[in-house]
Structure 1
Amino acid sequence: MAMEEAELCFPQVNTSCRKTNRPHWEATHSYSVLSFITMLTVVLNLLVIISISHFRQRYTFLLGLQSLTNLLFLLSLAVADFIVGFLQMPGEILLYRGCWDLGDSLCNVNYFLGFLSVSASVGNMVLLSADRYIAICDPMFYSIKVTVKRVRLCICLCLLLSAVHSSWMLRDFLKQPGRYNSCYGECVIVVNYIEGAVDLVVTFFAPILVIIVLYMRVFVVAVTQARAMHSYITAVKAQRSKKITAKKSEMKAARTLGIVVVVFLVCFSPYYCLSVAAENNLVGVSTAVIQIWLMYFNSCLNPVIYAFFYPWFRKAIKHIVTFWILKPGSSEANIV
């Protein structure tokens, strides 16, 4: 009897759910790994947020308007990913043992924030791709097409559409919290076939298609510009130097394209393959833990892909880690 009560989430409740039965070493190892991923996601995105917020005027002064608009997109992406790490991942850690201790209302909040933050993160990735596309493929009109006001409007629309998408996905669940729970202490939702198909298109297929098309165009323009330089080369020595520069430009464009697309596919494909394979996708059960965490792990990798590849971000983060930013006038430091 004591052993049976120990397996229940709430021994004093007859309808209590049972804890997920896992070996002690497996549970300890899993909690350690998931906690580390959560902490890393929060810290990395917080570093990006502080870096952009503290040094934004310096970035803009040295790099111009294009830098400011791009930084706003990066900041929005970092905030969305920070929410995933700070609020959503801890909730998933609680669900890992099969018991939800925070009640049906916070269960609603947990899933709503999950859909909202992931959708906003993906939406910001698309906006970053569009910004980079205009900057490289139509640089003459960049300052006209991409203004700070329009960037802020796009970010707000991205957040609004993400909230609408999340509310629609969870409309029945939000009206009646806990309607899919089979026992006390459970926190699950059921996404039907139509809702799963819409989420698949909105959060996966459409964004990845837009990103691939935009980055392919960027790659073609970068290669074309690099090759056009050869027509002006007369000296053999200069020609060899330009060839090296062209090859580096091509490789850099290819590497950026490859990293963005591959990481997004690797992180999101398993979860959406799971949703396609089943007619009804049950979210929150143990069979989907790896797929869900892999999708969330994209929020940990985004600051690395979009921010830490920039040398001035690495220098800014060094100032933050060493608490140098606490000094007076640190926001005007030369970090570029």
Structure 2
Amino acid sequence: MTLNFSQESMLIYTLLPFFALLTVSLNLLVIISISHFRQLHTSTNLLLLSLAVSDFFVGLLVVPFQILLLEPCWLLGDLACILCSFLPVFSVPATAVNMVLISVDRYVAVCDPLRYGTKINPKRVKICVLLCWIYSVSYDFLFLFDNLKKPGKYNSCYGECVISVNGHVDLILRFIIPTTSIIILYTRVFVVAVSQARSMRSHIAAVKLQRSTTVTVKKSELKAARTLGVVVAVFLMCYCPYYGISLAAYELMTGSLINIFMIFLVILNSCLNPLIYAFFYPWFRKTVKLIVTLQILQPHSRQANVL
């Protein structure tokens, strides 16, 4: 059933922009926090920064362009139709790849902690993040290129905005491969975490001082794994319904209630990530306070102790 301009339309034009503004604001706080404070320039936080950037663009671009596409008659031309359909979602593949990178980071930290510092360092993470965004842009251009050969060739009448997307390729590259990788990696992390927790409980009384330090480090890594596990779980819950519809071979029409609900889930996922950080990470609450009170404008604020 498609939307009529009544209660559903009013809900869309008020609720979606509100969540988009909230998403942009919250992720901007994450971007400023990790970029500004030197203590937060760690490998894991660089991945969180990349994820926050992709979530920021989801909030900034997806809703405005989708509202344009909901109009009953498209009057901006065939080229604008293609750009408005593809540009808002260029950061969605980046979100999926960032989730994979976060899963790899936690896998190495928990399953191979002694070599974590050599395997995962800021320089390698920056290269991986760069490749992630190159892949995201290239992925979008791959679908964009076929439609740019002859703009408007899929329109059946004037005023339509119809584009062609290979749903099977999109399903495999943007959902099945990343999701499978995430599930496999976090299953391994969970198994190792449970094993380590049992080992700690059985030997805690006989632990020496040096060993105690190691246990503390492992506990911090396990806590980070749990927190980022929540982020990954929220990502899967928000993105699975859309691709579940694709797997069921259901045709998702632009402007339908189901389509709007799927867009809302994407926005919700990008909005929830900063809230998860605020709940689990004390450093994020501290940095938000410093940002809101403009204390980051003071000299040497980059060296502030936020951990």
Instruction: Report TM bin, short chain.
Output: 0.7 to 0.9
Q: Give 1:173's aligned residue.
A: 147
Q: For the structure 1 residues 133 and 270, does the alpha-carbon distance in structure 2 shift closer, same or farther, using more than 3 Å as the test?
A: same
Among residues 87, 91, 95, which one is paired with 1:113 in the alignment?
Answer: 87
Contact conserved, 2:82 with 2:163, CA < 8 A, in 1? Answer: no
Q: Does 1:182 align with 2:156?
A: yes
TM-score, normalisation: structure 1: 0.77
Q: Give 2:14's aligned residue.
A: 32
Q: Give 1:59's aligned residue.
A: 40
Contact conserved, 2:3 with 2:9, CA < 8 A, in 1? Answer: no
1:255 CA drift (Å): 5.7
- Which deviates the most, 179-188 or 114-123? 179-188
CA offsets, 1:25-73, max 9 Å, x none? 4322221101111101111111111111111x1334xxxxxxx111211
- Which deviates the most, 146-155 or 35-44? 146-155
Name which structure has the greater RCO, CA cutoff 8 Å, separation 6+. 2
Q: Give 1:21's aligned residue.
A: 4
Q: Give 1:292's aligned residue.
A: 263
Q: For the structure 1 residues 147 and 253, does the alpha-carbon distance in structure 2 shift closer, same or farther, using more than 3 Å as the test?
A: closer
Amino acid at match of 1:144: T
Q: For the structure 1 residues 320 and 129, does the alpha-carbon distance in structure 2 shift closer, same or farther, using more than 3 Å as the test?
A: same
Q: Does 1:213 align with 2:184?
A: yes
Q: For the structure 1 residues 282 and 47, does the alpha-carbon distance in structure 2 shift closer, same or farther, using more than 3 Å as the test?
A: same
Aligned 1:263-278 pairs, distance under 5 A: 263-278=234-249
Among residues 214, 222, 236, which one is paired with 2:193 in the alignment?
Answer: 222
Aligned-residue sequence identity (percent) comes to 55
1:131 CA drift (Å): 0.9
Aligned 1:1-336 pairs, distance under 5 A: 21-23=4-6, 25-55=7-37, 57-60=38-41, 68-100=42-74, 102-191=76-165, 195-234=166-205, 256=227, 259-278=230-249, 281=251, 284-286=254-256, 287-305=258-276, 309-336=280-307
Amino acid at match of 2:263: I
* d(CA) in 1 for partners of 2:246, 2:158: 26
Contact conserved, 2:23 with 2:271, CA < 8 A, in 1? Answer: yes
Amino acid at match of 1:59: L
CA offsets, 1:164-200, max 9 Å, x none? 2222233321222232233444333233xxx211211
CA offsets, 1:282-304, max 9 Å, x none? 66342522223323432222333
TM-score, normalisation: structure 2: 0.84
- Which deviates the most, 207-216 or 107-116? 107-116
Q: For the structure 1 residues 188 and 42, does the alpha-carbon distance in structure 2 shift closer, same or farther, using more than 3 Å as the test?
A: farther
Q: Give the alignment's Cα RMSD to 1 decimal.
A: 2.9
Q: Moved runs in structure 1, 4+ residues, more than 6 A?
A: none
1:20 CA drift (Å): 6.1
Contact conserved, 1:45 with 1:81, CA < 8 A, in 2? Answer: yes
Q: For the structure 1 residues 254 and 50, does the alpha-carbon distance in structure 2 shift closer, same or farther, using more than 3 Å as the test?
A: closer
Contact conserved, 1:190 with 1:282, CA < 8 A, in 2? Answer: no
* d(CA) in 2 for partners of 1:187, 1:54: 42
1:100 CA drift (Å): 4.1
Contact conserved, 1:222 with 1:253, CA < 8 A, in 2? Answer: no
Structure 1 counterpart SS, 2:155: coil
* d(CA) in 2 for partners of 1:69, 1:90: 33
**Unaligned 5+ residue runs, structure 2?**
207-215
Structure 2 counterpart SS, 1:21: coil
* d(CA) in 1 for partners of 2:156, 2:4: 18
Contact conserved, 1:187 with 1:284, CA < 8 A, in 2? Answer: no
Structure 2 counterpart SS, 1:288: helix
Structure 2 counterpart SS, 1:98: coil
Determine which structure has more spread, i.e. the larger CA radius of gyration.
1
Amino acid at match of 1:284: T
